[in-house]
Amino acid sequence: MNGDELNEKDELLPEYDFSRMAGGLRGKHAIAYRGGTNLARLDPDVVAAFDTDLAVNEALRAIPRGAPKGPGDLETSPESTQCRR
């Protein structure tokens, strides 16, 4: 699509001509937004395991604070690495 086609399909009404507006500042609230949010992106398979945001939060709250944070934090003992039959 070239620029001429884009202008022909522009449905913005003349009263919304933002080029005439003064004082606009891009990203004006960005710092406040970042400071007040704490988002975590979940992989699709994790999302599929929960029905609601509340369910995710409840599951995360159930993890004890002393739980391992990652694979490097796991303690392995000879007993835990043996296969049981």
- C-alpha distances (whole Å) from 13 to each of 9, 17, 32 are 12, 7, 31
Q: Does any domain span residue 49?
A: yes
pLDDT digits (tens, 9 = 90+) for 14-68: 788 777 777 777 888 888 877 777 778 899 999 999 999 999 999 989 988 777 7
Question: From the CB of residue 56, how many other CB atoms can be counted at a distance below 10 Å?
Answer: 16
Total domains, the chain: 1
Domain that holds residue 49: 38-63
Amino acid at 2: N
pLDDT at position 23 is: 76
Q: What is the pLDDT of residue 79?
A: 52
Judge whether 11 lies within some domain.
no
Q: What is the pLDDT of residues 72-82, one digit of tens each?
A: 665 555 555 55
- What does the pLDDT read at residue 85? 42
Residue 52 in domain: yes
Looking at the domain assignment, is residue 45 inside a domain?
yes
Is 53 part of any domain? yes
**In the prediction, which pLDDT does 48 show?**
95
Give a yes or no: residue 8 inside a domain. no
Angle at 58 between CA 51 and CA 40, to 5 degrees: 75
Whether residue 28 is contained in a domain is answered as no
Specify if 44 maps to a domain: yes
